């Protein structure tokens, strides 16, 4: 059975109350105990701030792709059925959930939507799918003069009662609650299941030291042993009755104790309660009122109270009594509605309207130690009867019975599985066609329903509704891998990152991951929103792709993946809203991290780059699901940076790495040779030639290298130095030296902006690659040199060790003499045939590199995770 849990009760204002806690705990219990059933969760995108927390709550319990965020058009808070947008939102929500092809939908909180943008309905648009609703109580229905005084809310509430009656199944949180539904609403008993309730796993006995106890009591103004209760200030909670009953205790007993109420009273209500206490002879410090109490303190207060009293007149379940018992409190309570089911002991119950009886029972609980110990013993027996797993299993059992009662059987195979089968028997093929027909039928039904509403509607409302309907449609859609080429499609600087972006983008387009559509995308910097890079994609000349020639806005949906392949460090923070919206909707967001050098060594880079990198990394640590580095060394650096600077997260951040490819011919290489290429190549063949490849910039080690070769030439060591790379930043003085050097085009050659074709020929005539860089993300020139069998001298840094192993000659030191000595030592080894051979160095083609990247993204070959820095107490 495919079960969809509508968890708006964990998104609306109810998330801060008992309904939200119950909704989340029940959903988790259903997921834990689902067995062969397929559970999905549906969330409303009009509550964007709640989505990530709910996803975090189910991490490790439910695949993230099973948490669906449906889109709704914005609408005015409660306008009822007289407003087109409200009615449209009802239809669109039911259609969006129907797109998941559920067998049964469970609504955790039906009575939402009067003061916020919750939308809950039962069989308004989709009359076929079974609907179950949690029933907490009927208190407003039974007491309209107290709770339904607002005309608008009264209409809203009664409309929900009618919806409740249409539900196929009610999950009552207590036996009494179910009996009320039968008695007051005329709902058949067989449509109601008592699934009960339980306490959070936080509510258990913890050892309290004397110091902790004194600090706890001091925070809340408690100075003596105390009698405790919890409940908001409203008539049914009967707090006034408890105050009067407490005042009836013997004077000596009152002086030994305080009455402590966790009630979050307004200033007006505080005054009323204190006045009532004074009128009944209580001293100023006999009554202590508290506002909000966090769970940790609430557990400690339950545990340290002398007696917990629950005097409520009407409860759907009576959770505070069970919480107190679970924390080791002696509990007595009202013999009303569902409370006896919770406490489970007749001589611990009192008539909540008989204040003398309530006082007598409190006196016994405080004075009779044997009785008090028996209450504690009863709690130890009673509490284990209530567990969320048992409640979840009861809900699942009720779902199965509802399915059976309606003559429905579990589907033999999920529609997603059927669509994924490479070959399918006729029966499956028929089901595919049926599913597609069903989706088309649903869509046409929705359009008809919306266009025939006899209510005023604007063009803007119609456009907004069409947009969200499109985003909710799921059937027949192939997931997209959205590959960012924002910089490359504007200007190809032919630098290392552009070469990587071009090569991997090409390989992904040539051979997409199975079941995926690869689309190139670019950031529209005018609005910080992504467009398809269709025009640029056509430049790869890979044949027709069936996409527009225009760069339309990206149309993403749950299940898509965004890959930040290009480096757009200056704009990603400004586009954080777009990325956050994608993640809320279930699009996985991954970024490639090439290196952390601009934050580790900002002096090596122009001020602009050094300035944009820290906010870029901070944004990535906030909006990404995973960061994929181009080497293990970079991944280790990234983890260290995150430990020191990472953002607070509700879910762990996945960290991965892959290695770059090195087959230049498969990275769409540039071609062309300058007129003097033959003369240059002849000169390079004439003596041992050392080649450096990379932009001339501070971190590449050109300054040390050139000084080392000047020393060698002074010592009459007959060698060439070739620098392949454009002039970069921070090296103005070095550039002047290079351009004016006496050995220019004799023993020293500086080749700027050359093609990949020319670079290949330079490799062929060179004797050794010199990799003097002080820091790299990968070190692609080492691989390219090894492919040609070119020996290598490299600085001893972690990433070069990772890439090259024992296949290069390593040097250390930052002075010219250090490198000059290393070169002379290498020359001696080379003459003796003992220099390290690069030919055994492992390397990948760009196809293999791309496949390794795909395995990280799609087969979870992650290196590790960066653990959340958010304190556990702050997580849902």
Environment class of 845 (CB within 10 Å of its CB; exposed 0-12, middle 13-18, buried 19+): middle
Please tell me the distance from the alpha carbon of residue 147 to that of residue 137, in angstroms, as a whole number. Answer: 13
pLDDT for res 285: 92
SS3 524: strand
Same domain, yes or no: 614 and 579: yes
Q: What percent of the chain has pLDDT over 90?
A: 74
Residue 874 has pLDDT above 70, yes or no: no
Please tell me the distance from the alpha carbon of residue 223 to that of residue 200, in angstroms, as a whole number. Answer: 29
Residue 668 falls within a domain, yes or no? no
User: Per the structure, how many domains does the chain have?
Assistant: 4
User: According to DSSP H, which parts of 650-745 are helical?
Assistant: 677-685, 702-714, 732-740
Nearest to 661 by CA among 417, 513, 851: 851
Residue 426 falls within a domain, yes or no? yes
Residue 430 has pLDDT above 50, yes or no: no
Residue 542 falls within a domain, yes or no? yes
Mean pLDDT, residues 131-140: 95
Q: Place 413 in a pLDDT band, splitting at 50, 70 and 90.
A: very low
Same domain, yes or no: 644 and 750: no
Mean pLDDT, residues 608-618: 92
Same domain, yes or no: 655 and 680: no
pLDDT for res 79: 63
Residue 239 falls within a domain, yes or no? yes
Asked if residues 291 and 219 have their Cβ atoms less than 8 Å apart, the reply is no
Residue 225 token pair: 């042993």
Which residues partner with 531 through β-bridges? 522, 553
DSSP string, 60-125: TTS-GGGEEEE------SS-GGGSHHHHHHHHHHHHHHHTT--SEEEES--S--SSSS----SSSS
Query: Do β-strands 720-724 and 226-230 pair in parallel, antiparallel, or remain unpaired?
Result: unpaired
pLDDT for res 781: 86
User: According to DSSP H, which parts of 207-347 are helical?
Assistant: 210-220, 239-247, 251-256, 267-279, 295-304, 319-326, 339-343
Same domain, yes or no: 608 and 686: no
Residue 871 falls within a domain, yes or no? no
Residue 498 has pLDDT above 50, yes or no: yes
Asked if residues 304 and 205 have their Cβ atoms less than 8 Å apart, the reply is no
pLDDT for res 666: 58
Please tell me the distance from the alpha carbon of residue 670 to that of residue 583, in angstroms, as a whole number. Answer: 37
pLDDT tens digits for range 472-496: 988 778 899 999 999 999 877 666 7
Dihedral of CA atoms 742, 745, 751, 754 in degrees, nearest 10, equals: 160
Q: How many alpha carbons fall within 13 Å on the CB side of residue 312?
A: 24
pLDDT tens digits for range 773-810: 999 999 888 988 898 899 999 999 999 999 999 999 99
Asked if residues 631 and 810 have their Cβ atoms less than 8 Å apart, the reply is no
Query: Which has the higher per-residue pLDDT, 201 or 71?
Result: 71
Query: CB under 8 Å to 807, separation ≥6 — which residues?
Result: 786, 792, 836, 837, 838, 839, 840, 841
Residue 851 falls within a domain, yes or no? no
Same domain, yes or no: 176 and 253: no
Query: CB under 8 Å to 191, separation ≥6 — which residues?
Result: 167, 168, 169, 170
Nearest to 792 by CA among 847, 829, 832, 738: 829
Domain CATH code at residue 519: 3.40.50
Please tell me the distance from the alpha carbon of residue 475 to that of residue 559, in angstroms, as a whole number. Answer: 12
pLDDT tens digits for range 45-102: 999 999 999 999 999 999 999 999 999 988 777 666 778 988 999 999 999 999 999 9
Using the 3D structure, point to which of 382, 409, 426 is the last residue of a domain: 382
Residue 666 falls within a domain, yes or no? no
SS3 308: strand
Same domain, yes or no: 340 and 364: yes
pLDDT tens digits for range 499-528: 899 999 999 999 999 999 999 999 999 999
Longest dimension (CA), the chain: 112
What does each C-alpha distance from 169 to 157, 398, 405 come to in angstroms?
A: 19, 8, 11
Query: Which has the higher per-residue pLDDT, 694 or 277?
Result: 277
What is the value of pTM for the model shown? 0.81
Please tell me the distance from the alpha carbon of residue 482 to that of residue 547, in angstroms, as a whole number. Answer: 14
Q: Tokens 């000059």 belong to which residue?
A: 820
What angle (nearest 5°) sits at the alpha carbon of residue 486, between those of residues 484 and 490?
Answer: 145
Please tell me the distance from the alpha carbon of residue 526 to that of residue 241, in angstroms, as a whole number. Answer: 64
Residue 204 falls within a domain, yes or no? no
Query: CB under 8 Å to 380, separation ≥6 — which residues?
Result: none
Residue 43 token pair: 């969330």
pLDDT for res 722: 96
pLDDT for res 341: 93
pLDDT for res 867: 84
Same domain, yes or no: 463 and 575: no
Residue 13 has pLDDT above 90, yes or no: no
Using the 3D structure, point to which of 474, 496, 516 is the last residue of a domain: 474
Same domain, yes or no: 503 and 576: yes
pLDDT for res 668: 61
Q: What percent of the chain has pLDDT over 70?
A: 94
Environment class of 179 (CB within 10 Å of its CB; exposed 0-12, middle 13-18, buried 19+): middle
- Cβ atoms within 10 Å of 120's Cβ, excluding its own: 22
Domain CATH code at residue 261: 3.40.50.2000
Environment class of 581 (CB within 10 Å of its CB; exposed 0-12, middle 13-18, buried 19+): middle
Which region holds residue 531: left if phi is over 0, alpha if psi is between -120 and 50, else beta?
Answer: beta
Same domain, yes or no: 522 and 598: yes
SS3 288: strand
Which region holds residue 205: left if phi is over 0, alpha if psi is between -120 and 50, else beta?
Answer: beta
Mean pLDDT, residues 229-254: 94
Residue 687 has pLDDT above 50, yes or no: yes
Q: Place 325 in a pLDDT band, splitting at 50, 70 and 90.
A: very high
Residue 609 has pLDDT above 50, yes or no: yes
Same domain, yes or no: 374 and 431: no
Cα 606 versus chain centre, distance: 34
How many H helices and E strands in the chain? 34, 27
Residue 693 has pLDDT above 70, yes or no: yes
- Cβ atoms within 10 Å of 267's Cβ, excluding its own: 7
Q: What is the domain extent for residue 325?
A: 210-382
What angle (nearest 5°) sits at the alpha carbon of residue 655, between those of residues 654 and 659?
Answer: 140
Least confident of 75-84, 126-135, 171-180, 210-219: 75-84
Q: How many alpha carbons fall within 13 Å on the CB side of residue 758?
A: 22
Please tell me the distance from the alpha carbon of residue 276 to that of residue 355, in angstroms, as a whole number. Answer: 14
Kindly state the DSSP code that residue 168 receives in the 8-state scheme.
S
Query: Which has the higher per-residue pLDDT, 871 or 403?
Result: 403
Same domain, yes or no: 148 and 103: yes
Mean pLDDT, the chain, as a whole number? 90
Residue 206 has pLDDT above 50, yes or no: yes
Q: Where are the beta strands (DSSP E) in 715-779?
A: 720-724, 748-751, 768-771
pLDDT for res 756: 83
Residue 714 has pLDDT above 70, yes or no: yes
Query: CB under 8 Å to 817, separation ≥6 — which residues?
Result: 708, 711
Same domain, yes or no: 17 and 68: yes
Using the 3D structure, point to which of 474, 501, 522 is the last residue of a domain: 474
């Amino acid at each position: 059975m495919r079960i969809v849990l509508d968890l708006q009760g964990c998104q609306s204002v109810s998330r801060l109350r008992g309904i939200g806690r119950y909704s989340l705990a029940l959903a988790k219990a259903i997921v834990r105990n689902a067995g062969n059933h397929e559970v999905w969760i549906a969330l409303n995108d009009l509550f964007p701030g709640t989505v990530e927390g709910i996803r975090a709550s189910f991490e490790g319990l439910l695949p993230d792709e099973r948490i669906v965020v449906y889109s709704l058009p914005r609408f005015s808070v409660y306008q009822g059925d007289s407003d087109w947008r409200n009615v449209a939102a009802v239809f669109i929500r039911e259609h969006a959930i129907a797109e998941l092809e559920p067998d049964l939908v469970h609504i955790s909180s039906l009575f939402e939507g009067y003061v916020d943008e919750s939308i809950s309905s039962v069989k308004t648009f989709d009359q076929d799918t079974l609907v179950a609703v949690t029933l907490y109580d009927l208190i407003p229905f039974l007491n309209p003069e107290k709770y339904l005084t607002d005309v608008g809310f009264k209409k809203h509430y009664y409309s929900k009662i009618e919806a409740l009656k249409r539900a196929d199944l009610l999950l009552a949180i207590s036996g009494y609650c179910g009996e009320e539904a039968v008695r007051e609403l005329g709902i058949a008993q067989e449509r109601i299941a008592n699934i009960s309730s339980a306490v959070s796993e936080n509510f258990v006995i913890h050892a309290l030291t004397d110091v902790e106890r004194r600090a706890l009591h001091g925070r809340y103004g408690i100075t003596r042993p105390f009698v405790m209760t919890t409940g908001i200030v409203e008539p049914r909670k009967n707090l006034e009755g408890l105050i009067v009953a407490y005042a009836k205790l013997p004077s000596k007993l009152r002086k030994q104790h305080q009455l402590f109420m966790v009630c979050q009273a307004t200033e007006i209500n505080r005054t009323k309660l204190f006045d009532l206490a004074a009128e009944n002879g209580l001293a100023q410090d006999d009554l202590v009122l508290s506002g909000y109490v966090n769970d940790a303190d609430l557990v400690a207060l339950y545990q340290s109270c002398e007696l917990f009293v629950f005097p409520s007149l009407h409860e759907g379940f009576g959770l505070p009594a069970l919480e107190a018992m679970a924390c080791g409190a002696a509990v007595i309570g009202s013999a009303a509605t569902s409370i006896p089911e919770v406490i489970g002991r007749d001589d611990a119950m009192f008539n909540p309207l008989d204040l003398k009886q309530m006082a007598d029972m409190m006196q016994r609980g405080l004075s009779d130690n044997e009785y008090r110990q028996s209450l504690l013993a009863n709690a130890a027996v009673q509490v284990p009867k209530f567990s969320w797993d048992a409640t979840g299993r009861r809900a699942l059992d009720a779902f199965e019975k509802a399915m059976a009662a309606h003559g429905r059987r579990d589907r033999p195979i999920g529609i997603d599985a059927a669509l994924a089968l490479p070959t399918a028997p006729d029966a499956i093929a028929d089901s595919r066609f049926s599913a597609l027909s069903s989706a088309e039928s649903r869509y046409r039904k929705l359009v008809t329903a919306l266009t025939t509403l006899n209510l005023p509607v604007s063009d803007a409302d119609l456009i907004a509704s069409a947009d969200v309907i499109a985003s909710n449609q799921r059937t027949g859609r192939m997931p997209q891998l959205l590959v960012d080429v924002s910089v490359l499609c504007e200007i190809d600087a032919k630098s290392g990152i552009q070469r990587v972006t071009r090569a991997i983008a090409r390989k992904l387009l040539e051979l997409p991951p199975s079941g995926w559509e690869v689309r190139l995308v670019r950031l529209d910097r005018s609005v910080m929103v992504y467009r398809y890079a269709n025009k640029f994609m056509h430049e790869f000349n890979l044949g027709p792709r069936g996409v527009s020639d225009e760069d339309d806005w990206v149309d993403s949906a749950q299940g898509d993946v965004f890959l930040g392949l290009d480096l757009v460090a200056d704009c990603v923070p400004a586009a954080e809203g777009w990325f956050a919206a994608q993640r809320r909707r279930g699009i996985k967001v991954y970024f490639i991290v090439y290196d952390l050098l601009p934050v580790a060594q900002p002096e090596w880079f122009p001020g602009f780059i050094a300035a944009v990198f820290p906010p870029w990394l901070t944004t990535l640590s906030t909006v990404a699901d995973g960061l994929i580095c181009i080497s293990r060394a970079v991944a280790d650096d990234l983890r260290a940076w995150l430990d020191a600077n990472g953002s607070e997260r509700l879910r762990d951040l996945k960290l991965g790495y892959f290695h770059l490819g090195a087959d230049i011919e498969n990275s769409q290489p540039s071609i062309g040779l300058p007129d003097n290429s033959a003369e240059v190549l002849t000169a390079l063949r004439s003596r041992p030639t050392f080649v450096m490849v990379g932009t001339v910039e501070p971190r590449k080690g050109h300054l040390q290298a050139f000084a080392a070769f000047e020393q060698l030439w002074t010592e009459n060591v007959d060698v060439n130095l070739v620098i392949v790379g454009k002039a970069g930043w921070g090296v103005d003085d070095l550039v002047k030296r290079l351009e004016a050097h006496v050995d220019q085009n004799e023993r020293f050659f500086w080749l700027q902006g050359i093609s990949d074709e020319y670079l290949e020929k330079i490799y062929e005539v060179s004797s050794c690659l010199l990799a003097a860089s002080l820091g790299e993300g990968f070190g692609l020139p080492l691989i390219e040199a090894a492919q040609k069998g070119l020996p290598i001298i490299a600085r001893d840094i972690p990433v070069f060790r990772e890439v090259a192993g024992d296949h290069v000659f390593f040097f250390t030191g930052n002075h010219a003499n250090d490198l000059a000595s290393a070169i002379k030592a290498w020359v001696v080894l080379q003459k003796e045939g003992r220099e390290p051979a690069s030919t055994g160095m492992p390397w990948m083609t760009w196809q293999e590199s791309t496949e390794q990247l795909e395995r990280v993204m799609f087969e979870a070959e992650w290196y590790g995770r960066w653990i959340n820095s958010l304190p556990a107490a702050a997580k849902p």
